[in-house]
Structure 1
Amino acid sequence: MSTGPTNRVVTPLVSGPIPLYHQLRQALRDRIAAGEWRPGDQVPTLRELCQLYGVSRITAIQALGALAHEGVLARKQGKGTFVAEPKIEHGPVRLLSFTEDIARRGHVPGSRILELARIPAGQTIAARLQLAPGDAVVLLRRLRLIDGKPMGVQNAYLPDDLFPGLAQMREPIDSLYRLLDVRYGVVPAKATEAYEPIVVDDEIASLLGVRRGVPAFSVERVTRDQRNRLVEFTVSVLRGDRYKVVLDLAGPGL
């Protein structure tokens, strides 16, 4: 029997039909799932794992590598291996605002307004909202937060003629969809989203607190309201290390 860094007594692993590194990977995963190690906590070193579970260094390296590949652990050069922040899953669900979506998943949503202004629509924005180039739109640019940590940068463009006074608002805007409903009687009813993998530039990296060039998702959303009017075009950049897309697929027989 060995005692680990968390003073938990464990039984050394035994060779059998299941490879040792699989056993160790599952043992570490179970301890994380049980809350023994939380996101941001450092896990035992290779030497400690070898002593704790009675395995070789190669076995410990394989187990940690597999968990890092799965996104359960994160390696930090020169510091060690840590429990990774859980990724926020996104799949085909009913249309929700960022605030509603994150809150229903048990996290605390937040945002910081980076820019709120009335601007002329460029070619792309005008095409998405079926406006003429140069027509006025409201730009709402926000840093989106989950549990106080930066998750993405979001630019929302809305037709100015549908939302008079929005560009001059001074109150905090936590949920844009709630504001559109309460203040303007506009209820977002359906949307189309497109996802594209990108790498972040210097500006986005600085806002998200990541390195330049790390992977991210660029997400475009075009939203219509209950009267089928185009009311919003949004471009978001979401951290690739905190976000994943999950799709439910069915065969032709279902």
Structure 2
Amino acid sequence: MDSYLANKRIERESHLPYYIQLKEILCTAIDQQHWEPGDRIPGEPELCDTFGISRTVVRQALNEMEHEGYITREKGKGTFVAQHKIRESLMQKLTGFYQDMLDRGLTPRTQVLKQRIVKASAKVANYLEIEEGEPVIEVKRLRSVNEDEPLLIVTSFMPANLCPTLAQADLENQSLYAFLESNCGILITRGRRFIEAVAARPDEAELLQVEPGSPLIMIDSVSYDDNNTPLEYYRALHRGDRSRFEIELLRLPERKAKHSEQ
């Protein structure tokens, strides 16, 4: 019997269904790193015997864990702990990837692939509300976490006149947003993001170490200052198998209907 599971049990008197209790036990074992990514966890028969529950209950718990990305199941081989997905904040935060990862206790790594001044394409010009062909600074980066496993590719564009020194800045060891604020006095206060599922092109797949056609999460973002002036447009391509986005929703006060007097 697995040493971690030896002291765990299903509470028969609890109002929680058995499959939820089992799921919580197994997920806690993964969260506390009793099992590491790639480890094989006990199979259905062993879990049935250990907890005195039916195979239907076990399968329901494992199905939910697989759906949530905790485990993967391989026919004829068993059930394995999946690679941990990196949780990122999609809304309500404009700290940038670098600071977001540091805040979560992770070590972000950056490889700058391009850093140059180019002419704005029609699409970039439209997002930045400038004329097509105007000079913009393009920065393309490969972002990784901890073990240098690639997580996303992000390509940013910014009007060249806003922060000329950005074209030579060291962006492998600092946040882009932190550089803009400390060196150019630029503070991003608002952003709009557009999310879409896409398939990895061969060049993108090579950088992200996935198969061509693998699912990616594409985010187009425009960042603004207090005057609603567009400062930056970026496109980020996140690995679908390693990313999980957190969205915080707020309930706004309901507006009372106005009734005009007759």
TM-score normalised by the shorter chain: which range applies? 0.7 to 0.9
- Tell me, yes or no, if the aligned pair for 1:140 and 1:157 is still in contact at 8 Å: yes
Give 1:175 deviation, angstroms.
0.7
2:51 alignment partner AA: Y
- Tell me, yes or no, if the aligned pair for 1:67 and 1:73 is still in contact at 8 Å: yes
Structure 2 length-normalised TM = 0.81
The separation in 1 between residues aligned to 2:74 and 2:161, in whole angstroms, is 49
Give 1:73 deviation, angstroms.
1.7
- Tell me, yes or no, if the aligned pair for 1:10 and 1:53 is still in contact at 8 Å: no
The separation in 2 between residues aligned to 1:222 and 1:201, in whole angstroms, is 23
The separation in 2 between residues aligned to 1:11 and 1:98, in whole angstroms, is 38
Match of 2:214 in 1: 214
Match of 1:239 in 2: 239
The separation in 2 between residues aligned to 1:213 and 1:78, in whole angstroms, is 26
| SS, match of residue 126 in structure 1 | helix
1:33-72 pair list within 5 angstroms: 33-72=31-70
What's the RMSD between the two structures over aligned residues? Answer: 2.9
2:106 maps to 1:107: yes
- Tell me, yes or no, if the aligned pair for 2:191 and 2:222 is still in contact at 8 Å: yes
> When the two structures are aligned, how many residues end up with a matched partner?
251
Match of 2:251 in 1: 250
Distance 1:92 1:170, change over 3 A: closer
| SS, match of residue 220 in structure 2 | strand
| CA deviation map 1:151-177 (0-9, x unaligned) | 211000011122224324467353111
Structure 1 length-normalised TM = 0.83
- Tell me, yes or no, if the aligned pair for 1:173 and 1:179 is still in contact at 8 Å: no
1:1-254 pair list within 5 angstroms: 3-4=1-2, 6=3, 8-10=5-7, 20-76=18-74, 79-84=77-82, 85-147=84-146, 148-169=148-169, 172-226=172-226, 228-241=228-241, 242-250=243-251, 252-253=253-254
| SS, match of residue 179 in structure 2 | helix
Give 1:76 deviation, angstroms.
4.8
The separation in 1 between residues aligned to 2:202 and 2:74, in whole angstroms, is 21
- Tell me, yes or no, if the aligned pair for 1:153 and 1:238 is still in contact at 8 Å: yes
Give 1:217 deviation, angstroms.
1.7
2:62 alignment partner AA: L
